[in-house]
Structure 1
Amino acid sequence: MYIHVGEDVMVRSSEIIAILEKDTVHSSEDIKQYLSEHQDAVVHLANGNFKSMIITKPHVYLSPIAPGTLKKRLLKSGSDVEIDD
């Protein structure tokens, strides 16, 4: 299944490694370091502020869609993705 993550971008649900809240991204030094090391893989989907960060194998998406909304889309899609809160 594919999940809409913002703009015109669809991501295969099986490729999603993690969905993080904006507050988690801003407060974690490890995540800030990860972003700086993978800067070429970051795709900005939000004009300005983002609400969530979606990590996949090839890309890191900064999305205007809230993590809770993305979770609902994953659950609704009937995918076999495991969700840890």
Structure 2
Amino acid sequence: MFIHLGGEKIIRAAELIAIFDISIEASSKISKGFITNAVKEKITEHIGEEEPKSVVVTVNKVYYSPISSTTLKKRAQQPLAL
């Protein structure tokens, strides 16, 4: 099963760890540290040209998605079968 994150990006549902609202970056030192570390390790990817609305954490990467965390969570509950 797959989840569409926006643009042309689709991930395997099995790789998904968490979906957060973009405000998670400013909400605590721990989350800010996590994002800072992901940027340093070059495992982040911005999807599309739009302003990101959510952060999607997978096994290998952290994605900035232009789709809201609420919509992505709904998609995760009903993944695409390709």
TM-score, normalising length: structure 2: 0.84
Partner of 2:74: 72
1:53 aligns with 2:50: no
C-alpha offsets along residues 2-26 of structure 1, whole Å, 9 cap, x if unaligned? 1010111101111111100112222
Distance in 2, Cα, partners of 1:78 & 1:2:
5
Q: 4+ residue runs of structure 1 moved beyond 4 angstroms?
A: none
Question: By how many angstroms is 1:78 displaced?
Answer: 8.0
Question: By how many angstroms is 1:72 displaced?
Answer: 1.2
Aligned length, in residue pairs: 79
Gaps of 5+ in 1: 80-85
Worse-matched range after superposition: 43-52 or 60-69: 43-52
What's the RMSD between the two structures over aligned residues? 1.9
> Which structure has more RCO (C-alpha within 8 Å, separation ≥ 6)?
2
Over 3 Å counting, the alpha-carbon distance change for 1:78 and 1:4 in structure 2 is closer
What does 1:1-85 align with in structure 2 at a 5 Å threshold?
Answer: 1-39=1-39, 40-47=42-49, 49-77=51-79
C-alpha offsets along residues 40-62 of structure 1, whole Å, 9 cap, x if unaligned? 00001142521110001110000
Worse-matched range after superposition: 3-12 or 18-27: 18-27
Name the aligned partner's letter for residue 30 of structure 2.
D
Name the aligned partner's letter for residue 29 of structure 1.
K
